[in-house]
Structure 1
């Protein structure tokens, strides 16, 4: 018999439910235990963030930078453009809708910690690098390795990436449900959790509608290039969409995405190049979720922001998430550094970002891979005749 696997999303849902139910009638002592645990985990997460950036961004930039040719450049620019367009679209919609969804009397800073409850002890774990230093280091080493073709240094960073990925999978993700439980345990103890949950549900609903709109828009733009029915082309991509919903992995969905893209008329060689590359660098759905959740949490906390701040964050996010490992929630893990450095998120807000993101992880991945097919159509229009001539020759 096939062994049943209890995924990360169900674990987080159970953790939230238990945190709410137990927090309604618990005495202070259990709350202090989880306040202590959350403090230790927050310190560890803060220590890990710069290492995540260096370990994941460096080899990702090195791998992409080694390619050459116009097709790589066009595909990369299209993927990055689509990703940041998604971010700016989300910001515009969020600015218009979120203020009416988030009540003025709801301040996350007032309810995210149980009043008067202090941890039994704390342990400081200083980070080895600050976030901006680690970002600059990652870009410098990544571009340098790509330019010089330094195999030995590339091998070192590839192994470092494996260590960081293993740490995320073996330590961070298994402990994350306990951390989320502690947060909602504390919030329920302070009596405001249901206001927070009502806002979360509304935000998730808005994001779901937006990602459907984004897919229709992407295929409408692609139809201008290829002169085909956009809804029919989008309909052919539904097997890839639903496969991504189940696997929560762009990489695992590549074979299905390629097959459906070819059925939309893209040359096999073009699809074989664009789809695997875009599975790594095109993250429209993930960007939409992160920008929307970040904007909502900033409004809830009464944090000051402006267009210039969010614009810089979106453009940096489109680059940083290229490093997302092939694990559920990988994009948000890669984005933690710029959330804290550019938007000023503390550990409590980062934890809620993780919870919100993972709650929609499947839909973001499905949006990413389905959009890959639209980008492949545009690339095929630019280079398809050349690929056909090479194949015939």
Structure 2
């Protein structure tokens, strides 16, 4: 059996691999780690040629692109009831949107708020912001803009596209928190620009509100102006102390420790809209799936995916990789971790959406942000253009 992965060396999976081999005498498992920037292309080329691995790592937004290359895991191995009991709801959204389960997660990461404790202390801020309204207030207190409009001290890496790591994920988060319904799969159209009735708010356009909220941080005419395209890349700016807050995933904890060991930073839950009872977080994670190429090995491959994501192996994986857990029965175990606890708890309330091609949509969303910031278009026009482009994408790539 052949397994392809990203990020992880074989040593990370060794315990589970050895146990599985012992359970199936004579089985040989070949594991190939591929650099993340080469992985998708090599996978596509190999599967298209009728070759490739039996088991693959799959990113949580990939299923719409690769469903025809993968096999649903048999009900005898894991049922939808089991999936719902063992994993957060978003796993069903991503890996079993129509009932058939195509993958199981190795971990589950979410966007959280990184903040500079020294800057907060100097500004008299005793805790991180809990709501976006508080976040805006903090930005006003921390930012320093001179008479010419030059940013002397940025409060947060927010508002632009290209120099903010995961900028489009942040915008996705804001839209989902605002209540946007991103797409209508049945009609094959994007709907994130539609007006919706939101309980307690009436008829609003949540997509427009989210885009405006985000881009205001890069608008010199707004009171929350704190970032522009001239700033360093967001991760670099944060570890250098040039910006006080950054939104990102857990894997950059080690980046910060490596780049600036003395940086005094904290990690907090992502802010939520004021007076909103339902928490909404945004995920990014990888799971294991079985390809159609597996053939006679399929049943063994299904068993392998289930085995590697059971409680014991998931806990070992989390310990070795220092990633947030995906299983519900491990959240309590990790929740007290001073760095990862925030991320594992947020996984329980993560929400994603069905993206026909996540890379193309990422580009569309980045262009939407730049349409406002660089081209000076009204947010409503930028939103409408992006919505139309995603609709065209959905219709073009449908069978």
Coarse TM-score class (shorter-chain normalised): under 0.3
TM-score between the two structures when normalised by the length of structure 2: 0.23
**Larger helix fraction of residues:** 1
* TM-score between the two structures when normalised by the length of structure 1: 0.23
